[in-house]
Amino acid sequence: MSHLRVLICRVDDEASPDQMMELHSIDLPAVEPEQMPPETALDELETEVLAVGQDVMRHLMKSQWEEVDRLLVEAYQRRFSP
């Protein structure tokens, strides 16, 4: 059996654009259409897509915000040398 996984990675374009550092790994839930009532299957899938999408975006934005925060702290510290 197999499943889908979403990876959120950081790529350093200058140092090595072919190498990635994994930040988050999110396994998508298994979808079993035969277990869903045909009348509500699409609604259930849509609900699942929204929940998983929000989770992926939360991890993605958190990683981006951490990087922005790190860069802002470094810039602030450079203004006040020891």
pLDDT of residue 10 exceeding 80: yes
pLDDT digits (tens, 9 = 90+) for 18-50: 889 999 999 998 888 788 898 988 998 899 999
Neighbouring residues of 24: CB distance < 8 A, sequence distance ≥ 6: 7, 8, 59, 60, 63
Domain that includes residue 33, residue range: 5-79
pTM of the complete model beyond 0.85: no
pLDDT of residue 35: 87
pLDDT of residue 50: 94
Please say whether the beta carbons of 8 and 58 come within 8 A.
no
Rounded to whole angstroms, how far apart are CA atoms 44 and 46? 5
Four-point Cα dihedral 50, 51, 57, 59, nearest 10: -170
- Give the number of domains in the chain: 1
pLDDT of residue 26: 93
